[in-house]
Structure 1
């Protein structure tokens, strides 16, 4: 008998017509949103969502709460914003306050990321971690350095996300050992990673590594789209590396120790572009009206990715289709 709380994924190719250009594909995506995983139950499960106070992370958090997650943990930078998000989620779902907890983490700060794992473990209090949805990320209009000298999107979306992943793996592995079922580790990404056709050229121009190419420098002309795609490609390398380390066959396992996958929600109406100037934000309004999904529709993709079976391990979930 199949598990009603597992989504059996369909392999690609994408249903989106291949003859469409980029704008046509976005318009198609707007008119064909992801299916709502409202039939899935997260009862008895503990779920972590980073970047949970705004945008798609917030939308996903609402769904997890509504779908019965025993414990929903909001990973956020600001306690005040976390409390506001918690209050709104409780108001919308009617759940009890004890079903949601807040754990602070700033992916722009290594010390904060390192402190997050023990703080999370304390909050879990012996409870397993069944789902980790790593959603925190950013997009900037220009080159902005982190406190460590990396370009900020590289710092948050790649380096600190990799560090957080390493620190979460022991908790996820412990859950797998205790429950006998594979927990989910899902990374929010973008199909922008597939647009890097000239990655070898970028690497050569950028100093010999993909990381250096994505990072660029303050002295170089900042190409926001190129940076975005390279960052997403680097983030996918994290997914593939972790998936390899937890794949079936290791230690005699018949399935993956942890189900590791990535998800693209498509273009969505969120405040992700809040750091852009007012004129660009004004231009986003008609652009989003024509091409973007709603935040709720994007949240569907995130939640459904964390309910996929082992066939999704190491793969990419986009438009309700599993892609390599």
Structure 2
């Protein structure tokens, strides 16, 4: 009996009990890990960014094990990619020619643009794009572009990549396939309060301010901006019969190296905390892979705990999201002038 090629998503009920404390929710998530997807990716070309470590690496293993004809690892260096490729092949027993490596550094817009061009030269179709690359910092760090580093990597460069991938995804859909574009985000986006950015009136600008910067608040604000990325692309592909499915996914708190830049005291605290309150990276990757197998019912939606999970209040505020998305687009248009044509499908 052949494996299914898609998963039908449902909207709740599910997830941790309503009104539970944050720690109770985390414990619930540990005790109730997501289902391990048993779908087939045979015949499909799959891209995973951030594929050399953590959630991206574990997701890449699953895609390979589930039969992906071509797995493309989006990584910062060939060396890291080769190490990851070797480990994936050892774990899955697949042949070397089923995995390709393409380098990209999301700190650099030009690297993102070159990455997509390299991808288009390498393949004429893309069935899955899992945008998993990201970072978190314990202190404010500004990129050369003038944006705080997490905003640069997790929001602006990720938005640019997603938009630039649309022509290839549309080409794939035109051939009768149903491509998926999935953003890795977090339920933490629902924690953002309007008063956090009321002084500037802009979530993007407030997130970029060094004065009063707070790591926990920054994490949630960046994740809400990431939800705006998803919503922006989902809107652009919703009413034009594009055939592309766009969604976002939360893997839950997982044991990964995302906190590698934190100080020793924080790392010492995190080890026992994560032992009790965090899923393994493999468990988190289950949600990532299953999100990329969902059907059209998941378009513009948020996958968490094996259900289409309610988004936070601000993520459901259409006016707020459109304003935020316009600000993100304004930044991107300065370096990619034809971005609106790409979104509209006229390029």
Question: TM-score, normalising length from structure 1?
Answer: 0.93
Alpha-carbon RMSD: 1.3
Q: Do residues 210 (structure 1) and 203 (structure 2) align?
A: yes
1:165-199: per-residue Cα shift (whole Å, max 9, x none)? 11101010000001x23200000000011111x22
Corresponding position: 1:236 with 2:232: no
Equivalent residue, structure 2, for 1:10: 10
| Structure 2 unaligned regions, length at least 5 | 311-347
Question: Following TM superposition, by how much is the alpha carbon of 1:68 offset from its aligned partner in structure 2, in angstroms?
Answer: 0.4
Cα deviation 1:199-223 (Å, max 9, x = unaligned): 2x22222x23110011112xx1221
Instruction: Work out the CA distance in 1 between the residues paired with 2:215 and 2:202.
Output: 18
**Residues 245-324 of structure 1: matches in 2 within 5 Å?**
245-247=236-238, 249-250=239-240, 253=241, 257-324=243-310
Residue aligning to 1:154:
151
Which residue of 2 is the match for residue 99 of structure 1? 98
Equivalent position SS for 1:257:
coil
In structure 2, C-alpha distance between the alignment counterparts of 1:70 and 1:185, rounded to whole Å: 18
Give, in whole Å, the separation in 1 of the partners of 2:227 and 2:249.
Answer: 10
SS in 2 for 1:72: strand
Aligned partner of 1:195 in structure 2 is: 191
Q: In the alignment, which residue of structure 2 is the partner of 1:111?
A: 110
Task: Give the drift of 1:21.
Answer: 0.2
Alignment partner of 1:34 is 2:20? no
Secondary structure at the aligned position of 1:221 is classed as coil
Contact 2:127 2:177 in 1 (8 A): no
Q: How many residues align?
A: 309
1:69 aligned onto 2:55: no
Cα distance in 2 for partners of 1:101, 1:300 equals 22
Whole-angstrom distance in 1 between the partners of 2:70 and 2:110: 25
1:72-87 aligned at under 5 Å gives the runs 72-87=71-86
With the length of structure 2 as denominator, give the TM-score of the two structures.
0.87
Give the distance between the partners of 1:167 and 1:85, measured in 2 at CA: 25
2:180 paired residue number: 184
Shift of 1:123: 1.8
Deviation at 1:43, TM superposition (A): 0.3
Structure 1 residue ranges without an equivalent (≥5): none
Runs of 4+ in 1 over 4 A off after TM superposition: none
Alpha-carbon separation, structure 1, partners of 2:154 and 2:61: 23
Distance 2:243 2:63 in 1: 23
